[in-house]
Every structure is written in structure tokens, then in C-alpha cells.
Amino acid sequence: MNIIKEIEKKKIGKVDTKVSLKKCTTYKAGGKADIIVSPKNIDKLIELIQLLKDNDIDYKILGNGSNLIFSDKIYKGVLIKLSELNHCEINDTVIKVGAGHSLIALAYKTAKLGLTGMEFATGIPGTIGGAVYMNAGAYKSDMGYIVSEIKVLTPELKVITMYNRDLKFKYRHSFLQDNKGYICLEATIVLKEGNKKVIKELIEERRQKRLMTQPLEFPSAGSVFRNPDNDYAWRLIDVCGLKGYKIGGAEVSKKHANFIINTGNATGKDIHDLILYVQKTVKEETGVELKIEQEFVNWE
């Protein structure tokens, strides 16, 4: 069966073929994807996944690719982008927002309305769905503090509501990471009324700090490792003398040791190998095993 023709026949949504994964990840590295599909809505998403399951075709949900390291091989399955699930409804301090909506865009939108609680997210380049999945956070706050419930597609392709207490939010972790068949479709976020001027000043202060301390001029995926208890990953990497260490086009940033940057021509393998080298070196020299925040895809 020609899966592309079948997807097009069912009018599921936009289909792209032989797409460079450099266009789909913030590392700007990796091979190609055979097929990327952007379903028009939740019903079409369900139809697509059922079709893929019936034909034993692998698939993966792809957000902004801000936490993914793809191998340099072709991804043979179907990557599913939820970019069409990008609705946003704001009612006082309660926001219902689709999984495909930009996290940064929502953080700035709510700030302009004088709503406080999302200031931490103005520098995180992911989607709402990806942010819930990772429990994205910064400045001692994260999605777990503001998400009251989410709409989820279960492995049985049923749409259900899961509440904050069900989602097991903790540092860079959620229920969704342990239950890969569940897909976030929509989040309900609850913020508080704040002072527009104070919110704006805080966001600008943090933006300036990021510009000074993070290598934003290079492709990266933000922090590579989780901070261990009572310590910082960057400090451990720095004391091991790894700042500036390179494999191919991938480099441990000289500006922030917990960032790995693509200096221009890094392959997925360069980034993958450098992450594992840093992890191994830190373990050997300090005894601390750093946990990788990012996800390796298609390395089997």
C-alpha cells in the first residue's frame, strides 16, 4: 500500500516528503524524514494514527524539535506535526491552548495582557505540547505550576482529560514521558493578574541575562543535562575543563558549559557523540552521572 496516497485520499492534512531534519530541529542537524504529516484537526490525527497502526508503520509526534537529536539516517516512519492544533482562547486568567501553539508566543501574549505566571517561558523555544511533555521550565518555575489540566489522546485513541495531579509533574518530568502512547492535544493554563510594567521589566531583564550568558547566536537545544541535586550541570562540565571541547562541528559552548552548539556543520552523530563524551568524562572525574534532558531519535 502507498501510505502517502492513502493519507492524501483521506484528506488528513499537509504531507511533506524527504524533508531535511535540519529544518525541523533547533540543532539544525540530522538526516531526512521520509514523511511529515500535519493533521488538520484531532479527528484527522486519530484517523492518521489508526491508519499507521493498522499498517505497522512507526510514527513520532514532532513539535519544534527543540529537544531532539536525530541520527543522520533517514527516519523511515511518519513524523506527525501538531502545528494545526494551535488555537488559543483566553478567558480572564484561564487559557485553553492547542498543543501546536508556540510556548514563547503564548508567554508574550499573556504578558501583554498583564497576566503573570508564564514569564519563565519567554526563552523556551518549544510548543505547548512539548513543554507539557518535558515539564519545561526556568527560573525555578515550570509548566507544572500553571497547567491545571490537559486534553490527551490515549493509546486506545480515546480523548480524555487528565488533571494536574494525574500528570506527575516534577523537575523536567511528566506522566507523558513514562507513557509514550499518550499525546497532549490541548492544555488549560491558569495564570494570575499582575502588573504589566513589572512583568515587562522582568521579561526584559531575563532576556538581557540570556543574551549575556547563553550562546543564542548558534543552533542548540538549550540545556543538555539536568541539574543534579544541589549542584549545576554547567559547573561540573566546567571543572572538567570541557568548555570549548569539540567533536566535528559540535562544541561545548565557551559561554555556557551546559549548552552544546552547532558551529555550522555539525552532524547528528557529532552532537550525539559529544553529549555522551561529556557525560562519561563528568562521571569519571566527579562521580556524578548527569541525566540527559534531550532525546535521541532514530539511533537504533
Residue 34 has pLDDT above 90, yes or no: yes
What pLDDT sits at residue 291?
96
pLDDT bracket for residue 177 (50, 70, 90):
very high
CATH classification of the domain holding 64: 3.30.43.10
Could you write out the DSSP letters of every residue in 218-280? S---SB-BPPPTTS-HHHHHHHTT-TT-EETTEEE-SS-TTBEEE-SS--HHHHHHHHHHHHH
- pLDDT, one tens digit per residue, over 222-259 is 999 999 999 999 999 999 999 999 999 999 999 999 99
Per DSSP, helices labelled H in the chain are: 3-9, 42-54, 103-112, 128-134, 175-178, 196-213, 233-239, 268-286
Reading the block at residue 95, the C-alpha cell is 487559557
What CATH number corresponds to the domain at position 229?
A: 3.90.78.10
Mean pLDDT, range 55-72, rounded to an integer: 94
Sign of CA dihedral 190, 194, 196, 201: negative
* Residues 99-127, mean pLDDT to the nearest whole number: 96
Residue 142 lies in a domain: yes
Q: How confident is the model over 99-114, as a mean pLDDT?
A: 97
Q: Which band of pLDDT confidence, cut at 50, 70 and 90, is reported for residue 1?
A: low
Q: Which residue has the cell 508567554?
A: 107
Tell me what pLDDT residue 53 has.
Answer: 96
Q: Is residue 116 part of a domain?
A: yes
Asked if residue 204 is part of any domain, the answer here is no
- Which distant-in-sequence residues (6+ apart) come within 8 Å of 132 by Cβ? 99, 143, 147, 150, 167, 174, 176, 184, 187
Residues whose CB is less than 8 angstroms from the CB of residue 281 and which lie 6 or more positions away in sequence, other chains included: 240, 242
Q: Do 12 and 75 lie in a common domain?
A: yes
Mean pLDDT of the chain: 96
Instruction: Please give the tally of structural domains in the chain.
Output: 3
- Model confidence at 180, pLDDT cuts 50, 70, 90, reads confident
Per-residue cell: 226: 539536568
Close Cβ partners of 198 (under 8 Å, ≥ 6 residues apart): 116
Mean pLDDT along residues 79-108: 97
Per the structure, the complete domain to which residue 220 belongs is given by 215-297
Which residues are known to be catalytic? 172, 223, 293
d(CA 76, CA 50): 18
- Answer whether residue 205 is part of any domain: no
224 closest CA partner among 260, 189, 188: 260
| 203 in a structural domain | no
Q: What pLDDT, on the 0 to 100 scale, is given for residue 151?
A: 98
- Which residues in 66-79 are b (16+ Cβ under 10 Å) and which e? bbbbbbbeebebbb
**pLDDT the model gives residue 231:** 96
Q: What is the pLDDT of residues 129-158, one digit of tens each?
A: 999 999 999 999 999 999 999 999 999 999
68 and 94 fall within a common domain: no
Q: Say yes or no to pLDDT of 42 above 70.
A: yes
Look up the CATH number of the domain holding residue 180.
3.30.465.10
pTM exceeding 0.85: yes
In a domain, 206, yes or no: no
**Is a pLDDT exceeding 70 seen at residue 48?**
yes
